[in-house]
Chains A and B, each alone.
Chain A
Amino acid sequence: MFAFCTDPSTLDTARWMACYLTTGVHMSFYGSFLTVLLLLAITAPVALAFGFGAAIVARSHILPISWIGKSYIALVRGVPDIAFFLFFVIALDQAIEFARHKALCPDWDQPIRQGSDFVVCQAAKVPLSSAPQWVHETYSFSLAVLTFAIVFGAFAANVLYGAMRAVPRAQLETAEAYGMTRRQTFWRVLVPQMWVFALPGLSNLWMVLIKATPLLFLLGVEDIVYWARELGGTKTPRFTEYPHGDWRMWYFLVLLIFYLAFTRVSEVVLGRVMQKLTRGQATAGGEAQRRAAA
């Protein structure tokens, strides 16, 4: 990066560090922080949408439909994350390629499953094998978002399902007494009031999600923990310009600070949101706010 970096072994500590911390691998390390933040920023709303949808489906008065929602929640919550991330993603990827294969290569004569191999025609590959690396990365990133959303969506669904049932029955009866339809009761009375019950559970999920990103590397997306482990590992002079011992402790210390800071920011933000949601609610918190104001 800097002009004086040509021969690091001759540099003093400060300059050596300056060179060391700006190598290509370190740039990838810094980039991975953005990857993780981006993943969280996209996954959280998508997972919430999944959860909301599943909770609505699970509450359905039509029995088979509610079974669909309930079995999604039960299945995904029951399967260990790591198994889900190893096998579901591969299965999803194969399903997409299988569908494209059927559409694009009708005159393909070989079987798609050959023993344990999964072989589709080149044109059906997602992304095409000749596509540049960033396309491959974006694709696996999207698969990661979707998988995270499905997993955390199931947990969120359970939280929201519980929150919807926690809204006082009297509120809904009042709405009905005013002549609101079921749909109106749901959107105007139930949904606005359930968030205050859902938030503690959801904030828990968010904290777990923040720390679940190392699962990303199973999908080929390099996250901060992967890089910290890779960069902190012992480097012998034969393979690098910057040999050092086992520095994983320092790298993980940086991650620790990052995660703690992130958790703190989340707590502050969630606390504010909670304050806002509590306003005017028929809960102990809402009552306390009313008294304080009066």
Chain B
Amino acid sequence: MKKIILTTTALALTAGMAMADSHAKTIRMGTEGAYPPYNFINDSGEVDGFERELGDELCVRAELTCEWVKNDWDSIIPNLVSSNYDTIMAGMSITDERDEVIDFTQDYFPPTASAYVGAAEGIDVSTAVIAAQTATIQAGYVAQSGATLVEFATPEETVAAVRNGEADAVFADKDYLAPLVEESAGALMFVGEEVPLGGGVGMGLRESDTDLKEKFDAAITAMKADGSLNALLIKWFGEGTITY
């Protein structure tokens, strides 16, 4: 009797594994959860934001089962290539350096401007102390611009550095800064010129994962074509945002 039970469990297990390989794969979506409106943690503790809504819709269209995973920005690419999750949707700009290590789908957020935000008018952004998040295109840009770069691990800390005077200005995606400037009641303001950076935001995938990339690419194309991506962009980034 014992033997029969063992054999059946073994059979069931093998069958389950074969199933897992054919179609029951869950796509794990990696994100940072600290960059509103792109992605953030809502009041009930779940991943929320533009990328959450877009990602869920893409998964429905590509007929995939998806699940969201939070990961620190610093280790977000190493954990992707190591297959701890399958995609990155974390407001990650498409750049050549990143493209060498991972693959990107087409952009789901058009190339946008990055902007400086300071606590006072008249800051010369080419010589001032500028805060930026570590390992972002903005940090790379500031380092080359001749300004003094101070790096922080999270977007929140870059803005806090300006508020408490540690830095003269913060340099980040304009869409991240806009709601903060709006809410600050005059304490924060845009300074200097806007700078177009990066090749838009895309979904990061492993280079070997071509099937998955095609599926998501097709879904993004479809969403661009029927205008639903534009509707999402306007919903999360306001009327003035660039659309497709």
Point out residues on A near B: beta carbons under 8 Å.
23-25, 27-28, 86-87, 90, 93-94, 97, 104, 110, 114-123, 125, 128-130, 133, 136, 217-218, 220, 222, 229-230, 233-234, 236-243, 246, 248
Q: A93 contacts which of B17, B84, B86 (Cβ < 8 Å)?
A: B84
Q: Which residues of A contact B60 (CB under 8 A)?
A: none
Point out residues on B near A: beta carbons under 8 Å.
17-18, 20-21, 24-28, 33-34, 36-37, 40-46, 48-49, 65, 67, 69-72, 74-75, 78-79, 81-84, 86, 101, 154, 156-157, 159-160, 163, 179-180, 182-183, 206-209
Tell whether, in the assembled complex, residue A229 and residue B81 are in contact, meaning their CB atoms are under 8 Å apart.
Answer: no
In this complex, what residue of A is CB-closest to B68?
A133
Q: Which of B41, B43, B44, B208 neighbours the largest number of chain A CB atoms within 10 Å of its CB?
A: B43
For the complex of A and B, 6 pairs with smallest distance between CB atoms = A24-B44, A24-B45, A233-B156, A123-B17, A114-B208, A25-B45
Tell whether, in the assembled complex, residue A93 and residue B70 are in contact, meaning their CB atoms are under 8 Å apart.
Answer: no
Q: How far is the CA of A97 from the CA of B69 in the complex (A)?
A: 20
In this complex, what residue of B is CB-closest to A246?
B160
Q: Which residues of B contact A239 (CB under 8 A)?
A: 36-37, 40, 42, 48-49, 179
Q: How far is the CA of A94 from the CA of B21 in the complex (A)?
A: 18
30 A-B interface contacts by CB (under 8 A): A24-B46, A25-B41, A27-B45, A86-B74, A90-B82, A90-B84, A104-B17, A114-B207, A116-B81, A116-B101, A117-B81, A117-B83, A119-B206, A119-B209, A120-B83, A129-B26, A129-B28, A130-B26, A130-B65, A218-B74, A220-B70, A220-B72, A233-B156, A233-B160, A234-B180, A236-B179, A237-B183, A238-B179, A239-B48, A248-B160
Count of A-B residue pairs with CB < 8 Å: 125
Tell whether, in the assembled complex, residue A118 and residue B43 are in contact, meaning their CB atoms are under 8 Å apart.
Answer: no
Known: A93-B84, A238-B179. A119 touches B208 (CB 8 A): yes
Tell whether, in the assembled complex, residue A242 and residue B43 are in contact, meaning their CB atoms are under 8 Å apart.
Answer: yes
Known: A94-B82, A104-B17, A128-B20. A23 touches B44 (CB 8 A): yes
Q: Which residues of A contact B159 (CB under 8 A)?
A: 234
Distance (whole angstroms) from the CB of A34 to the closest CB of chain B: 15
Distance (whole angstroms) from the CB of A125 to the closest CB of chain B: 7
Distance (whole angstroms) from the CB of A239 to the closest CB of chain B: 5
Tell whether, in the assembled complex, residue A28 and residue B160 are in contact, meaning their CB atoms are under 8 Å apart.
Answer: no
Q: How far is the CA of A234 from the CA of B40 in the complex (A)?
A: 12
Tell whether, in the assembled complex, residue A25 and residue B43 are in contact, meaning their CB atoms are under 8 Å apart.
Answer: yes
Tell whether, in the assembled complex, residue B44 and residue A25 are in contact, meaning their CB atoms are under 8 Å apart.
Answer: yes
Tell whether, in the assembled complex, residue A118 and residue B179 are in contact, meaning their CB atoms are under 8 Å apart.
Answer: no
Q: B207 contacts which of A86, A117, A136, A233 (Cβ < 8 Å)?
A: A117
Q: A220-B69, A220-B84 are in contact. List 18 more A-B contacts (CB 8 A).
A: A115-B208, A117-B207, A119-B206, A119-B208, A121-B21, A122-B20, A122-B21, A129-B86, A229-B156, A229-B157, A230-B33, A234-B183, A236-B179, A236-B183, A237-B183, A239-B179, A242-B43, A243-B183
In this complex, what residue of A is CB-closest to B71?
A220
